[in-house]
Amino acid sequence: MVMKNLKNLFLTPLRPAQIPKWIPIVLIILTLVGFSDATYLTIEHYQNEIPPCTIGGCESVLTSQYAVVAGLPISLIGAIYYLILTILLFIYLDFKREIFLRTALLVPVIGFLASAGLMFIMFFIIKSFCPYCAVSAIVSSSIFIISIYAIAKSRNNQAIQRL
């Protein structure tokens, strides 16, 4: 049942005309915020600096063994994720091809799951708080929620049109 629903999610075309026009714009704004945050942390990482942190947990989080995967800082992976989403959304706005919108609305599932896992690690394993990391998690979660809303809006209108 779950596999069938996932297959339908990826293969059922969206109807971009049914999705409110503000959604791609808001998603682009959010991806740019996420990209800026992740890029700042990446630059700080490669300069061997810890960004200023009023709460005091940034150093613990950003220098932990979980801050780097396969030799790449998590922040760089995040910056690439946000950049890919931004490009997909701009291509969709330029060419109006449904495949770019569908991809931009489905990829945030990965970002949301990664953010949830990283927040779990931050709070329960490292036991510190990094506000920069939290900003990225909030942005990623917001992108995910808006994407689910857009997909539901598109699908609900399709069901209504079939009647």
- Res 7 pLDDT > 50: yes
Residue 142: its pLDDT value, please?
98
Kindly report the pTM of this predicted structure.
0.88
Q: What is the spatial distance between Cα 100 and Cα 144, in angstroms, rounded to a whole number?
A: 16
Domains of the chain, start order: 23-162 (1.20.1440.130)
- Residue 47 main-chain phi, psi, to 5 deg: -90, 5
3-class secondary structure for 81-126?
Answer: HHHHHHHHHHHHHHHCCHHHHHHHHHCHHHHHHHHHHHHHHHHHHH
User: How large is the average pLDDT for residues 23-43?
Assistant: 97
pLDDT in tens, 75-126: 999 999 999 999 999 999 999 998 899 899 999 999 999 999 999 999 999 9
Residue 4 has pLDDT above 70, yes or no: no
Write out pLDDT tens, residues 96-105: 998 899 899 9
Percent residues over pLDDT 90 in the chain: 71
